[in-house]
Chains A and B, each alone.
Chain A
Amino acid sequence: MANTQALCSAFKLDLLLGKHALHGTGVPARTISTADTYKAALYLASATYDATTTGYSATGEVGNSGSYTAGGPTVTWIAPAKTAGSASNGSSTTYTTLAANVQVTTFSATAFDAVLIYNDTVSGKPAVSVHTFGSQTITSGTFTLTMPTNDSSTGLVRLT
């Protein structure tokens, strides 16, 4: 047998399940026994949401219309999974995707191109990820955002 330097595959999965708090600074005082509530907010192409985004903000968000209200619709995640991996770090991927499409009906908005997925339970509504697409305008219609296939190659959020 031999030891192999690696970031444990289980750690990547456990991060998504909230099992770790590597430091006490900024850790909310709470007991986690159920999944947090997440939401998907849509943003105008003129907004600036990117890797530096720390949490939900109404700045640049599309306006209330039809079934869309400030903050966006609630979304749920497919249970995170990981590939088997190996003794080395490189081959294990932890992944998850939203469980259903994001859909807004009877909706009107001009030139929006991003969705922010964020935690609506924790103080500060911390951000998870920003996903962009071609700028869309919806007029008294339906906007549907379909998720990619939930696997280790295309899952919405993947940790390698």
Chain B
Amino acid sequence: MEESDLEKRTGQVDNDVECTTWVEYWFEGELVHRSAHVHLKRGIEFGLEAADFN
């Protein structure tokens, strides 16, 4: 198959959690390649604290 025979599609999602981009290549209506890049915007926070003696 020639690269010129492929249909390229791209997409993006950007929200509070991630910024994700992807690229797809389609050949005669069939998905033949999909790559994605997920960029996490933040991790996880855990709270620790010391309590009173009662």
Q: Please give me the residue from chain A that is nearest to B47 by CB atom.
A: A160
Q: Is the CB of A160 within 8 A of B46?
A: yes
Q: Which residues of A contact B20 (CB under 8 A)?
A: 133-134, 136
Contact call A140/B38, Cβ cutoff below 8 A = no
Among all A-B residue pairs, the 3 with the closest Cβ atoms: A141-B35, A156-B43, A146-B39
Q: Complex formed: what's the CA distance from A139 to B25 in Å?
A: 10
Interface residues of chain B: helix, strand, loop or mixed (majority): strand
Partner of B33 from the list A140, A148, A156, A157 (CB cut-off 8 Å) is A140
A147 is contacted by which of B22, B23, B40, B44 (Cβ under 8 Å)? B40
Question: Are the CB atoms of B13 and A134 closer together than 8 Å?
Answer: yes
Which residues on the B side are within 8 Å of A137 (C-beta)? 34
A-B contact count (CB 8 A): 95
Residues on B close to A: CB < 8 A?
13, 17-18, 20, 22-24, 31-50, 52
**Residues B46 and A155 in contact, CB atoms below 8 Å apart:** no
| Contact in complex: A148, B40 (CB < 8 Å) | yes
Within the complex, the shortest CB–CB distance from B1 to chain A, in Å, comes to: 13
**B-chain residues with CB within 8 Å of residue A145 when the two chains form the complex:** 38, 40
* A contact residues around B40 at 8 Å (CB): 131, 133, 145-148, 156
CA–CA, A88 and B39, complex, Å: 34
The size of the chain A interface, using a CB distance under 8 A, is 35
> Which chain A positions have C-beta within 8 A of B44?
129, 131, 156-158
Q: How far is the CA of A138 from the CA of B33 in the complex (A)?
A: 7
Which residues of the other chain, A, contact B42 by a CB distance below 8 angstroms? Answer: 148, 153-154
CA distance A129 to B45 in the complex (A): 10
21 contacts between A and B (CB under 8 A): A7-B49, A7-B50, A133-B20, A134-B17, A134-B20, A134-B38, A138-B35, A139-B33, A140-B32, A140-B34, A141-B36, A144-B35, A145-B40, A148-B42, A154-B41, A156-B44, A157-B43, A158-B44, A159-B47, A160-B45, A160-B46
Q: Which listed residue (B18, B35, B48) contacts A142, Cβ 8 A? A: B35
The answer, yes or no, to whether A143 is at the interface (CB within 8 Å) is yes
